[in-house]
């Protein structure tokens, strides 16, 4: 993740900005693209579009990560103002003695006292002078970015926080903040020299509705929807949200984050009141209803053989019901002709195979798109000795035209 600006904050399970640029340039030979990413995450697609000189818009329903994407788009702002603002934060923070009281248990599990005091000093300094300016927003991102690298425990986004897992060479907050700001200043200067300020927008919105996107306005969609049963995307920024006081516990994620997201993981279903027959909406899921019902029935029986008894049957039905709505929204906002690329992976909860790309392709046709094909990129679930099942999986690109 060394690309300027893109590297300011990494969101779990992203894709290559260079590949996005290739797709945009290839499409733009025939059509003037307006690029859209309905699962924009930390902004890879819209930033890549700016690098190509193409208009772009993205939406994201995760309430924290959308702010990260918005901050990244501030690369065009005044460099000196940002530098001066960051220096004032350092000056104020060094005059304070940070506190350790008032944080949630997760924060105490992740930071020794001296590190937490320094982070608290930086946080309080930012809060003291926050004027909601672009420079303030960029400093918020810089401090947010260093939170994981300053922790000596396991804080990978792709795993739950692991307080017992130790890592070497954790960064000290003040040097880390200064270095991060320096990196951002260099990246801003680079982008401002190389790229025009091509319009790009990111908004808080739900891909199942695309409320903020006008009808027939999009010609190219590049995105990666949540992978089913791969990762709890609500948990991805739990450390950052806890540090900033936006959540207090893991349970807060359901109300503050998870309820806004596509239902792609078992954690969603712990709070679901719908039963399987309610989720298997035969009319809306008609292109896949027979296959989906069969798989969900197998999963419902298989769960009783496992200690966790996870509701994978409900998760699978809910996921595809949500994706029906995504395809319907995309058909409304996409022009004719248009092109869509979904980076997707299949799944096999409890070892029962779910052909995600095939079912999403069928649903796209039912929504009114003309054709689809799947470009297989790599095999999954073939390397690890401790994998939970032996079903070979794959990842690739679902191309939809219409």
Over residues 224-269, the pLDDT tens digits come to: 999 998 778 888 899 999 999 999 988 899 999 999 999 999 888 8
pLDDT at residue number 167 = 79
Q: Is pLDDT at 29 greater than 80 in this prediction?
A: no
Name the residue ranges covered by the structural domains of the chain: 72-194, 263-402
> What is the pLDDT, as a whole number, of residue 156?
72
Q: What is the pLDDT of residue 146?
A: 98
Q: Which residues contact 305 (CB under 8 A, 6 or more apart)?
A: none
Higher pLDDT, 151 or 167: 151
Give the CA distances from residue 127 to residues 82, 93, 121, 131, 347, in Å, rounded to whole numbers and listed in that order.
Answer: 16, 11, 10, 9, 43
Across the chain, mean pLDDT equals 92
Q: Is 221 helix (H, G, I), strand (E, B) or coil?
A: strand
- DSSP code of residue 400: E
- What value does the mean pLDDT take over residues 354-366? 98
| 196 DSSP 8-state letter | -
Asked whether the predicted pLDDT for residue 210 surpasses 60, the reply is yes
Instruction: Give the pLDDT band (50/70/90) at residue 386.
Output: very low
pTM beyond 0.75: the answer is: yes
Confidence of residue 311 (pLDDT cuts 50, 70, 90): very high
- The lowest-confidence range among 79-83, 105-109, 161-165, 198-202 is 161-165
Counting residues of the chain whose pLDDT is more than 70, the rounded percentage is: 94
End-to-end CA distance of the chain: give it in Å, rounded. Answer: 33
The predicted structure's pLDDT at residue 198:
79
How far is residue 113's CA from residue 102's CA, in Å, rounded to a whole number?
Answer: 13
Cα torsion 321, 23, 73, 122: sign: positive
**Which tens digits make up the pLDDT trace of 106-163?**
999 999 999 999 999 999 999 999 999 999 999 999 999 999 999 999 777 656 667 6
Which of 145, 132, 139, 120 is closest to 245 using CA atoms? 120
Q: Which pLDDT band, with edges at 50, 70 and 90, does 199 fall under?
A: confident
Closest C-alpha among 347, 272, 354 to residue 314: 272
Task: Report whether pLDDT(355) > 70.
Answer: yes
Predicted local distance difference test score (pLDDT) of residue 250: 81
Question: Which DSSP string corresponds to 93-128?
Answer: HHHS----TT--HHHHHH--HHHHHHHHHHHHHHHH
CA atoms within 13 A on the CB side of 57: 17
How remote is the C-alpha of 390 from its chain's centroid? 28
pLDDT for residue 390 is more than 90: no
């Amino acid at each position: 993740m060394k690309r300027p600006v893109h590297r300011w904050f990494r969101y779990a399970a992203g894709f290559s900005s260079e590949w996005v640029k290739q797709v945009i340039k290839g499409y733009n030979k025939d059509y003037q693209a307006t690029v859209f990413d309905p699962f924009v995450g930390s902004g890879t697609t819209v930033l890549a579009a700016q690098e190509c000189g193409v208009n772009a818009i993205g939406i994201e329903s995760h309430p924290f990560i959308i702010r990260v994407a918005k901050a990244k788009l501030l690369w065009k702002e005044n460099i000196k103002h940002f530098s001066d603002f960051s220096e004032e934060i350092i000056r104020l923070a060094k005059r304070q003695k940070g506190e350790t009281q008032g944080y949630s248990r997760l924060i105490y599990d992740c930071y020794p006292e001296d590190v937490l005091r320094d982070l608290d000093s930086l946080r309080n300094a930012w809060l003291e002078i926050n004027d909601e300016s672009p420079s303030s927003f960029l400093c918020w991102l810089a401090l947010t970015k260093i939170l994981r690298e300053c922790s000596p425990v396991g804080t990978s986004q792709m795993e739950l926080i692991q307080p017992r897992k130790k890592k070497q060479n954790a960064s000290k907050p003040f040097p880390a903040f200064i270095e991060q700001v320096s990196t951002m200043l260099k990246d801003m200067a680079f982008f401002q020299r190389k790229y025009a300020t091509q319009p790009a927008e990111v908004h808080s919105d739900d891909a199942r509705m695309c409320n903020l996107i006008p009808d027939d306005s999009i010609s190219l969609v590049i995105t990666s929807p949540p992978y089913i049963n791969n990762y709890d995307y609500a948990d991805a920024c739990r450390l950052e949200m806890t540090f900033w006081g936006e959540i207090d516990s893991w349970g807060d994620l359901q109300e503050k984050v998870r309820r806004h997201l596509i239902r792609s993981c078992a954690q969603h279903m712990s709070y679901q009141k719908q039963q399987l027959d309610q989720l298997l909406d035969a009319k809306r899921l008609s292109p896949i209803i027979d296959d989906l019902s069969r798989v969900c029935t197998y999963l419902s029986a298989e769960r009783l053989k496992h200690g966790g008894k996870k509701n994978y049957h409900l998760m699978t039905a809910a996921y595809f019901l949500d994706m029906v709505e995504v395809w319907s929204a995309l058909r409304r906002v996409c022009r004719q002709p248009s092109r869509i690329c979904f980076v997707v992976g299949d799944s096999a909860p409890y070892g029962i195979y779910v052909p995600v790309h095939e079912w999403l392709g069928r649903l796209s046709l039912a929504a009114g798109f003309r054709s689809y094909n799947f470009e297989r990129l790599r095999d999954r679930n073939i390397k690890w000795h401790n994998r939970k099942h032996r079903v070979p999986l794959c990842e690739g690109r679902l191309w939809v035209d219409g």
